[in-house]
Amino acid sequence: MFTQDTINRLKSAETPFYYYDLQLLDDTLKTCRTAADQYGYHVHYALKANFNPKVLQAIQSVGFGADCVSGNEVKASIQYGFSKDKVVFAGVGKTDREINAALDLDIFCFNVESVQELLVINDLAGAKGKKANVAIRINPNVDAHTHHFITTGLEENKFGVNVWQLPDVAFTLRNCANLNLIGIHFHIGSQITDLDAFKNLCTRVNELSDWFAEQGFNIKVLNVGGGLGVNYHSPDEDNIANFAAYFKVFNDFLQVKAGQEVHFELGRALVAQCASLIASVLYVKNGKKKNFLVLDAGMTELIRPMLYQAYHQIENLSQQLITTHNSQFTNYDVVGPICESTDCFRKDVELPESVRGDLIAIRTAGAYGEVMASHYNLRDQVQSVYSE
């Protein structure tokens, strides 16, 4: 819910922009931190969800580590004050340049996704006279019951090594003098709301942790990834993800051996609810079959609906305070200005009768929103506005 004061403030800024509720971000981070601390769990923030400087500062200040998927994210995380011994570097296509940069920065761990990558890191570390900490990203073949566009833990996905390749991984590790295996890593998908998927993950992690122990490896870190979902349908009633229930599943089902640490890599659940994309209605096009609200924001500012068929709640802030029994509701296809037919935030959105100049909020846009903005159609860089 936006207060009238907030709406008045938003009216004075030029649309489109992302509006960040920094208080909600802070509350979310503290809730997560408290829930994780209860079990001594380590949390790394997945920078790719949102690398807005103010967001990074807030997250860094609660003491989380960083989960990076590019060399530039590794550099940014350290620039923003994340401790280098809490930085992990994942990704299926790390370049030599990125690996070298991360070796120079002495990060905590590389999450390695193939046997060939192990050999490359071993060579590059050797050339620097260094020993690299690695964790093997294993594809556990667990169905996350999430949208197939964002599932990552099945054998058909490009990520990680498959279980049948593990003997080759063990053989390679024994022959790589510049690698130090510290952990096993998993990430089964994103926007996971069915906690049973994590329960199934725990069962697989337990089996694989035993397998590595039998092979004589000392696995210090069980990194179970991220993926906790948020409520896109009720951003006000359910504005902080249930971190306590999430961590409890791992506490209940993960077998942690003496000396082992459990690490998480949360992105979306930490940042999704703290931002909305704010746009203005440019034109109202009423047709025989369809009514369109044409906004001044489109897929260049928020591509999730077009890329993953993602749902976002859409609200007309200007009509919010007009008493509902007076206002008439109309179904609109809410679209952007970009020259693509897919540039539609959602079809048949029931909204109060809207007019040119109305302020529209597209909610739960803090994760995979601003970071995926593009300059397609030579659009301006989307701006940000922050709560005080």
User: Is 339 part of the annotated catalytic residue set?
Assistant: yes
142 counts as binding ligand PLP under rule CB under 6 A: no
Largest CA distance in the chain: 75
Position among 94, 204, 268, 304 found at the interface with ligand PLP (CB under 6 A): 268
Find the catalytic residue in 32, 68, 274, 339: 339
Confirm or reject binding of residue 370 to ligand PLP (CB under 6 A).
no
Give the number of C-alpha atoms closer than 13 A to the C-alpha of residue 34, restricted to the C-beta side. 8
**Which residue from 16, 140, 183, 227 is in contact with ligand PLP, where contact means CB under 6 A?**
227
Asked if 265 is part of the footprint of ligand PLP (rule: CB under 6 A), the reply reads yes
Task: Single out the residue of 3, 1, 24 nearest to residue 269, CA to CA.
Answer: 24
Instruction: Tell whether residue 134 is a contact of ligand PLP (CB under 6 A).
Output: no
CB of 282 to ligand PLP, least distance (A): 32
Nearer to ligand PLP, 265 or 343 (CB): 265
Binding residue (CB under 6 A) for ligand PLP from 43, 48, 108, 295: 48
Render the burial of 325-356: b for 16+ CB within 10 Å, e for the rest.
Answer: eeeeeeebbbbbbbeeeebbbbeebebbebee
Contact string 182-211 vs ligand PLP (x = CB under 6 A):
-----x--x---------------------
DSSP assignment letter at 320: T
What pairs with residue 285 in β-bridges?
Answer: 292
Interface with ligand PLP includes 266 (CB under 6 A)?
yes
Binding span for ligand PLP by CB under 6 A among 224-232, 244-252, 289-297, 353-361: 224-232
- Judged by CB under 6 A, the stretch of 116-124, 225-233, 284-292, 335-343 that binds ligand PLP is 225-233
Quick one: 195 exposed, middle or buried, by C-beta within 10 A (0-12, 13-18, 19+)? middle
Q: Candidates 46-54, 203-211, 236-244, 277-285: pick the segment binding ligand PLP (CB under 6 A).
A: 46-54
Nearer to ligand PLP, 172 or 190 (CB): 190
Closest to ligand PLP by CB, 47 vs 118, is 47
Site string for ligand PLP, 80-119 (x = CB under 6 A): ----------x-----------------------------
Only one of the segments 165-173, 221-229, 241-249, 372-380 lies at the binding site for ligand PLP (rule: CB under 6 A); that segment is 221-229
* Least distance in angstroms from the C-beta of 324 to ligand PLP: 35
Part of the chain binding ligand PLP (CB under 6 A), chosen from 18-26, 43-51, 128-136, 312-320 = 43-51
CB of 64 to ligand PLP, least distance (A): 12
Residues in the chain: 388
Residues 169 and 115: beta-carbon distance below 8 Å: yes
Contact 229, 268 (CB under 8 A): yes
* Between 155 and 348, CB nearer to ligand PLP: 155
46 binds ligand PLP (CB under 6 A): yes
Residue type, 206: N
- Sign of the CA dihedral with 239 first, then 226, 39, and 22 last: negative
Distance of alpha carbon 30 from alpha carbon 52, whole angstroms: 19
Looking at residue 207, what DSSP letter applies?
A: H
User: Are the CB atoms for 359 and 316 separated by under 8 Å?
Assistant: yes
Number of residues engaging ligand PLP in binding (CB under 6 A): 17
Tally: H helices and E strands in the chain: 11, 17
Asked if 132 contacts 125 with a C-beta cutoff of 8 angstroms, the reply is yes
Which is nearer to ligand PLP, 2 or 198 (by Cβ)? 198
**Dihedral angle sign, alpha carbons of residues 46, 47, 50, 53:** positive
Q: Tell me which amino acid residue 233 is.
A: H
Minimum Å distance from CB 97 to ligand PLP? Answer: 20
Q: Residue 194, SS3?
A: coil
Please answer whether residues 201 and 142 qualify as being in contact, where contact means their C-beta atoms are separated by less than 8 angstroms.
Answer: yes
Q: What share of the chain is helix, strand, coil (3-state, %, to 5)?
A: 35, 25, 40
Give the position of tokens 């003496």: 258
Binding residue for ligand PLP (CB under 6 A) from 225, 337, 352, 366? 225
Residues near ligand PLP (CB under 6 A) are 46, 48-49, 67, 69, 90, 187, 190, 225-228, 265-269
Q: Which residues are catalytic?
A: 339
